[in-house]
Structure 1
Amino acid sequence: MSKLDGNGRWESKMALTEHVEQYEKRNQPKNLNRPTTEELAMIRDFILLPLMLTMVQKAADDIKNSPNILRRHFLFSTQILMNRIEKDMYLLRKELTRRNIKVMTEEQVDVVVYHKIICRGYEERFGMVRDVVRSEISVRLTKYLNEMSKLLESYGK
């Protein structure tokens, strides 16, 4: 609050519309192009999904080399899971492109992986701790597996 506010002298003064617009434009928040909470969640998923795909691919490679008698069925399940992850990655990439958001891997410092985010001209650095990445992948993987088990249950009925 300035010294002029509340003294009554400026309440009766008129301002031109152009001046009011200039004043409001000058005092608008500068970060209108920052990613929203929803977009940050999309960016997080965009970072996590390729890591999940790599983990599932590694598990599939391990299953291929195992002598397990259910190997074929496990491979089939992992392929379905990989297809689902790739589909989500495609949809996410398409939506981020539509919203003019770019995500680039920047660097890895100790236990934090940093990414550079360019969102409609606004640049930001986004970091994720490895432990958080692991737990998020675990939660996401559980979600995918629950969806697959529901499909299998509905198929068996």
Structure 2
Amino acid sequence: MSKLDGNERWKSKMLLTEHQEQYEERNNKTLIGRATSDELTMIRDVIMFPHMLTMSEKSLQEAKRTPNLYKKYFEQFIELVMDRITKDLFALRRELKSRNIKVYDDETADGIIYHRYVCRGYEDKFGIVRETLRSEISFRMARYASSIFNPNPTPPKKE
């Protein structure tokens, strides 16, 4: 509580809008501080998508090298998956930027991949176990693949 809070004299004074916004930002605790669980999920995804693109690129190069009757279709399929991952990655980066969150390069220690991030002035590390990342990547890749095979899934009927 400041000295002026209880003083009735200051209630009638005018306040510029930019000063009002600064005052509200300073007093609003939700704008400053740690990332929410949704934002941590977004940070995890922005860490995961480049790994998914690298894995897809390796699969694409392998598909190009092998002689196969369906080689052209495998290549097109992998490129479709990579396009969707790239679109999601750009949208996610745009959303993180709008929320004033920056994610920096990684370091690995004892099978855990750490990324440093700054969320509205609060700096912290995000760590994910390599095996957890692998399982999440395989789950996401399966979801991307099924979305290509079945672009408009019909919801199950209720009986």
TM-score, length-scaled by structure 2:
0.76
The CA deviation at 1:18 is 2.4
Going from structure 1 to structure 2, the CA distance change for 1:39 and 1:17 (only over 3 Å counts) comes to same
Is structure 2 residue 15 aligned with structure 1 residue 18?
Answer: no
In structure 1, distance between residues paired with 2:64 and 2:35: 42
Secondary structure of the corresponding residue to residue 148 of structure 1: helix
Q: How does 1:136-151 map to 2 (within 5 A)?
A: 136-151=136-151
Identity %: 40
3-state SS in 1 of match to 2:136: helix
Asked if the contact 1:31/1:122 (under 8 Å) is kept, the reply is no
Deviation at 1:60, TM superposition (A): 0.4
Q: 2:51 maps to which residue?
A: 51
**Kept after mapping to 1: 8 A contact 2:63/2:74:** yes
TM-score by length of 1: 0.77
Q: CA RMSD in A?
A: 2.4
- Highest CA radius of gyration, 1 or 2? 1
Structure 2: which 5+ residue stretches go unaligned? 7-27, 155-159
| Structure 1 residues 30 and 140: alpha-carbon distance in aligned structure 2, compared to 1, 3 A threshold | closer
Question: How many pairs align?
Answer: 131
- 1:23-42 alignment runs, 5 A limit: 32-42=32-42
1:76-112 C-alpha deviation (Å, 9 max, x unpaired): 0011110000000100011001100000124111201
1:13 corresponding residue in structure 2: none
Distance 2:152 2:30 in 1: 50
Whether the 8 Å contact between 1:108 and 1:114 is mirrored in structure 2 is: yes
2:82 corresponds to 1:95: no
Specify every segment of 5 or more residues in structure 1 that has no aligned partner in the other structure, as ranges: 1-15, 20-27
